[in-house]
Amino acid sequence: MPTTELLRREWTAFRRPARLVALTAAVLIVIALGLLYAVGNRSSCDGPCPGVPTADDGSAVSDAFWFRHRDLGETGSITVRLTSMTGTITYPPPDHDEIVAGLVPWAKAGIIVKDGVRQGSRYAALMATGSHGVRFQHNYRHDVAGSTGGVTEQSPRWLRLTRAGDTITGSESADGERWNTVATATLDGLPATVRVGLFATSPGDLTLREIGLGGAIEEVRFTQAVGVFDNVTVEGGAGGTWQSESVGDMNHTDWEKFHNASGAVEKDGVVTVSGTGDIGPVSDQGARGVENTLSGLVIALIIVIVVAARYGARTARDGSSRPVIAARAAVVGAATFVTGLVAAGVVLPLSTAILKSNGVPVQPVSVLTTVRVVVGLAAVLGLCAVLAYALGVWVRRGWAAVLIGLSLIALPRAVTALPLLPDPVSEWLMRITPAAAFAVQQTMVEYPQVIAHYAPSAGYFPLPWWAGLLVLCAYTAVFARVAVSRAPAAETDWR
């Protein structure tokens, strides 16, 4: 029988009302839960919540620090000596009953060249950090290591940024005489006059609290960094006086309002700058990612597994031939692919639009990434359906195939989506089970210079999307081969 006619016949056989109703229910569940999540989330700010800053390339970034600055022309430099760097961490574990002195690993104090004070504008900075030594960072994503070790009164650090047009060079020195270049960056399209000066910032102190069977949830506390500078020299300045202001909101916490406000103070040539926040790419930063609108996928997956596994068991009982098994697998996979395409294609743009209209910050996602998520999830559901169908053909019992399919795919995805298991266990489950393919829905990126809870329960997968998809493809290919190998080569079912 020609392949086209065989596929048409098997599609006619598959489209029984019960199966179509089940797949339609899967679509509606994904859409309904996604829209319910979006409608139920509203701005908790007085008025619209501030949007997540975006860089020139459209990516979401963190850009909050205290900035003491002045103008710099197309050619010039700033040189300072950083004599000390201290900080404060509020109510850290284990007792949560005191404010302590200390620096989080990525607290920063140093010098920066920036295209104005708008959040998300281009910059290059040279800084000391809490525990990662001297770093040269630019345009949020780029990070280059300099010397190691901390800054104290006994071992201060000289820092210099030099501008030549669009090129910024960061150099450091232990004595102000012998300089080492840390890195050079090109910031395309810098205006003739930029802002240059001193800054300090400090991200929240992140710890993990154990819950469930060893899972963890994030707890973040306010921190502040303080840098003390002297020997501040600017060459090539474009005129103007020093100004002091925050980039991003600051001085709203009780610690800042009643104890130590962020800011900059100069006395006898010594400048003390204190600030909180971060400069860098966003990990989650409180912005909703598209993954949050896809909670109904696990339920849809269960429906798909049940439908496909039972259909596979029926195929085995019919004594169908290999061509028929292959045709039915293609029909099941295609029908489920369309199911996923409609569900994800509807819920993502609608729920994102609702969240934005409710004043909720939403992590920006490019059109290409959205297409990858929608098509990828449709492909994952389609492959999971083929895998479950092959299980049904292989074990010949619908209930047994359903249990195996749920254990292999749905259960790992469900338990890793919650902070239930220890992070290493969740990560391994998302590497070695077919559920690894759900990495196609990830839009957040892990950055070494950003402190975050990089775990499946927080939306981070251990494998890239293409590798996770390959894991599912491998499982599907193996079980499909086993299922087909048990069937007769020629068609024997004359229906």
What would the pLDDT profile of 421-476 be if each residue is shown by its tens digit? 999 999 999 999 999 999 999 888 889 999 889 999 988 999 999 999 999 999 99
Q: Average of pLDDT values for 20-44?
A: 92
Alpha-carbon distance of 363 to 365, in angstroms, equals 6
Q: Are 149 and 195 in contact (CB under 8 A)?
A: no
pLDDT, averaged across the chain: 92
Residue 159: its pLDDT value, please? 98
Which of 152-166, 231-245, 414-428 has the least mean pLDDT?
231-245
Determine which helix (DSSP H) or strand (DSSP E) holds 172, and give its type and residue range: strand 167-173
Whether residue 491 is predicted with pLDDT greater than 70 in this model: the reply is no
Whether residue 239 is predicted with pLDDT greater than 90 in this model: the reply is no
Higher model confidence: residue 444 or residue 175?
Answer: 175
46 confidence band (pLDDT: 50, 70, 90) = low
Topology of domain 61-281, CATH: Jelly Rolls (2.60.120)
Q: Are 416 and 429 in contact (CB under 8 A)?
A: yes
358 confidence band (pLDDT: 50, 70, 90) = confident
Residue 97: its pLDDT value, please? 80
Whether residue 287 is predicted with pLDDT greater than 80 in this model: the reply is no
Cα 445 to its chain centre, rounded Å, is: 4
Per-domain boundaries in the chain: 3-41+287-485, 61-281
Q: Are 470 and 440 in contact (CB under 8 A)?
A: no
Q: Which of 290, 438, 306 is nearest to 378 (CA)?
A: 438
Range with the largest mean pLDDT of 230-239, 394-403, 451-460: 394-403
CB-based burial label for 174 (10 Å; 0-12, 13-18, 19+): middle
Percent of the chain at pLDDT exceeding 70? 95
Residue 318: its pLDDT value, please? 87
Alpha-carbon distance of 235 to 77, in angstroms, equals 5
Query: What amino acid occupies position 118?
Result: R
Q: Average of pLDDT values for 135-162?
A: 93
Q: Which of 3, 112, 10 is nearest to 320 (CA)?
A: 10
Question: Coil, strand or helix: which one is 117?
Answer: coil
Q: Which of 99, 255, 121, 117 is nearest to 199 (CA)?
A: 117
Q: Which of 227, 193, 221 is nearest to 207 (CA)?
A: 221
Whether residue 99 is predicted with pLDDT greater than 70 in this model: the reply is yes
The total number of residues shown for the chain amounts to: 495
Percent of the chain at pLDDT exceeding 90? 76
Whether residue 323 is predicted with pLDDT greater than 70 in this model: the reply is yes
| Cα R_g (the chain), whole angstroms | 28
How many Cα neighbours within 13 Å face the side chain of 155?
8
Compute φ and ψ for 185, nearest 5 degrees: -130, 150
292 confidence band (pLDDT: 50, 70, 90) = confident
Q: Which of 184, 85, 71, 204 is nearest to 126 (CA)?
A: 184
Whether residue 285 is predicted with pLDDT greater than 80 in this model: the reply is no
Q: How far is CA 345 from CA 25, 252, 441, in A?
A: 16, 40, 12
Residue 487: its pLDDT value, please? 75
Q: Average of pLDDT values for 113-136?
A: 97
Residue 495: its pLDDT value, please? 40
Residue 284: its pLDDT value, please? 57
Alpha-carbon distance of 492 to 495, in angstroms, equals 9
Residue 152: its pLDDT value, please? 82
Q: How far is CA 470 from CA 26, 193, 376, in A?
A: 24, 50, 12
48 confidence band (pLDDT: 50, 70, 90) = low
Whether residue 361 is predicted with pLDDT greater than 90 in this model: the reply is no
Whether residue 494 is predicted with pLDDT greater than 50 in this model: the reply is no
58 confidence band (pLDDT: 50, 70, 90) = confident
Residue 259: its pLDDT value, please? 86
Q: Which tens digit of pLDDT belongs to each residue from 252-281?
A: 988 898 889 999 999 999 999 999 999 999
